[in-house]
Amino acid sequence: AQSVTQLGSHVSVSEGALVLLRCNYSSSVPPYLFWYVQYPNQGLQLLLKYTSAATLVKGINGFEAEFKKSETSFHLTKPSAHMRDAAEYFCAVRTGTASKLTFGTGTRLQVTL
């Protein structure tokens, strides 16, 4: 069975500081991993995805994530937070040929001045 765990339901950073949102996955087969972001009153928007082509994946809005098989992690980072990054971030995993995405519980990012 596939699953993801997002550590920290709320993360607060200062504007300009490093953003680190944690995601660990559990899968018995090579996973496909995704980060989605949800801004207030909007849908889930894809930030980036891991497809085994490269372990460091760059996404939109300056975000990136690194797949670490040894740590079963796919943490999301951004070097310098901006106020507009305040949103809820979801990590998700899919394995095999099934279409189902399994999501984490989400991390709400707050960016302060």
Partner 1 sequence: EPEVTQTPSHQVTQMGQEVILRCVPISNHLYFYWYRQILGQKVEFLVSFYNNEISEKSEIFDDRFSVERPDGSNFTLKIRSTKLEDSAMYFCASSEVGGGGANVLTFGAGSRLTVL
83 phi/psi in degrees, rounded to 5 = -55, -35
46 binds partner 1 (CB under 8 A): yes
Question: Which of positions 59-98 make contact with partner 1 (CB under 8 A)?
Answer: 90, 92, 94-98
Q: Give me the least distance between CB of 67 and partner 1, in Å please.
A: 13
Total of chain residues touching partner 1, rule CB under 8 A: 26
Dig out the tokens for 34 from the structure.
């995704």
Dig out the tokens for 65 from the structure.
């994530």
Considering only residues 42, 56, 70, 113, which one is a binding residue for partner 1 as defined by CB under 8 A?
Answer: 42
Closest by Cα among 85, 64, 77, 93 to 5: 93
